[in-house]
Structure 1
Amino acid sequence: MQGFRFFALVGLALMLAAAAVTAPLRAQDRAVPYWASLRYETVNMRVGPSGEYPVSWVYQRKGLPVKVVRVREGWRLVEDHEGTQGWIAASQLNPERGGVVIGKGLAEIKAEPNSAAVVKWRAEPGVIGAVKSCREGWCDIDIAGRKGWISAARLWGSEALPGG
């Protein structure tokens, strides 16, 4: 009886460990396209869905949002805010939605989701943040701990996608 309990506990521990390791990858197995962001400071984009393919671009910006447009085994075909496409290993992506400020000039970050709301601060094009939600032309964004609302027209990553 003691042996059975031991093996049952070991089996349970192994299942929990496997779930913890694979949870981030499973979170990315959803309808495409969907939003994700770069998990690490340095991420390689490749010309094909394998480590055997040459690197076409090296991103050096943790949190940069990407649109996942295709899934193939452990690889994701992504598109960045400049329209560049390539393959990134799923383990290099964070399933959390991000956004990057686009357009000309400073973008106003407001206290509420409307054009008459108080401006909390302004963000330059290229600034990235975590997108919490978007509604009625406005997105709730967190930029390095500073929270507010930005016009969806000024944010790449605001578009509603089938996979989220």
Structure 2
Amino acid sequence: MSKTVAPSALAALVVLALLPGVAAHAQQQPAAGQTIGSNSKLPVPRYVSLKSDRVNLRAGPAKDHRTLWVFQRAGLPVEITAEFATWRRIRDSEGAEGWVLHSLLSGRRTALVTPWDKDKGKEPTPLLARASDSANMKARLEPGVIVSIETCDGTWCHVTIRNLDGYIQQGRLWGVYPDEIIE
């Protein structure tokens, strides 16, 4: 029997914020098209997640810049596109961009399941028992569900959500690059 997990059930996922994997960013090397951040010495662009359930997205890299948006979803994956001192310019899955303090971001890798299907009434994404289209389905994940990334091999990602773990095709996730390897 499989389960369906909806985005509204994501509040419980905040407890996943301290999972292992944060140190993986410290060892990353820049890929083609990436540079090294002047302050963090980490690749830019790169994916991270929001540490808090209240993160102000600002128009510029200082607290006196106006707030464009307030994120209210800890664990949400975002992409760092630039750095300035203690500020990071980020982009979310819908393309909204702005600046946040680096201390509000976590190196923990998360991803959104098919956020581009949110308003289209598409079928849920299967969470499979192994990295194969023929594997048994463990759950159906609705568009917009946040999963924690354990590993990715460039085609499949091993993910966790609450007490479930399984595999999702990498192309069905926003928060990992195509062909990206995460160990």
Interval of TM-score (by shorter of Structure 1 and Structure 2): 0.7 to 0.9
Structure 1 pair 124–141 and aligned structure 2 pair: CA distance change class (3 A): same
Alpha-carbon distance, 1:134 to partner: 1.3
Counterpart residue identity of residue 163, structure 2: G
Retained in 1: the 8 A contact 2:154–2:178? no
Inter-partner Cα distance in structure 2 for 1:106 and 1:120? 12
Structure 1 pair 161–110 and aligned structure 2 pair: CA distance change class (3 A): closer
Inter-partner Cα distance in structure 2 for 1:157 and 1:110? 19
**In the alignment, what sits opposite 1:12?**
none
Alpha-carbon distance, 1:130 to partner: 1.0
Retained in 2: the 8 A contact 1:101–1:123? yes
Give the 3-state SS of the residue equivalent to 1:153 in structure 2: helix
Higher percent of residues as helix: 1
Counterpart residue identity of residue 132, structure 1: E
Matches within 5 A, 1:115-130: 115-130=133-148
**In the alignment, what sits opposite 1:135?**
153
Give me the TM-score of the superposition, normalised by structure 2.
0.71
**In the alignment, what sits opposite 1:155?**
173
**In the alignment, what sits opposite 2:63?**
51
Paired residues, number: 140
Retained in 2: the 8 A contact 1:34–1:161? no
**In the alignment, what sits opposite 2:99?**
87
Retained in 2: the 8 A contact 1:139–1:158? no
Retained in 1: the 8 A contact 2:153–2:179? no
Q: Deviations over 1:127-152 (max 9, x none)?
A: 00111121142111111232110111
Inter-partner Cα distance in structure 2 for 1:125 and 1:58? 21
Inter-partner Cα distance in structure 1 for 2:179 and 2:101? 21
User: What fraction of aligned residue pairs are identical, expressed as a percent?
Assistant: 35
Unmatched runs of 5 consecutive residues or more in structure 2: 1-21, 27-38
Matches within 5 A, 1:1-164: 29=40, 30-102=42-114, 103=117, 104-159=122-177
Alpha-carbon distance, 1:32 to partner: 0.5
Give me the TM-score of the superposition, normalised by structure 1.
0.78
RMSD over aligned CA atoms reads: 2.3
Inter-partner Cα distance in structure 2 for 1:58 and 1:71? 20
Poorly superposed stretches of 4+, deviation over 2 Å: none
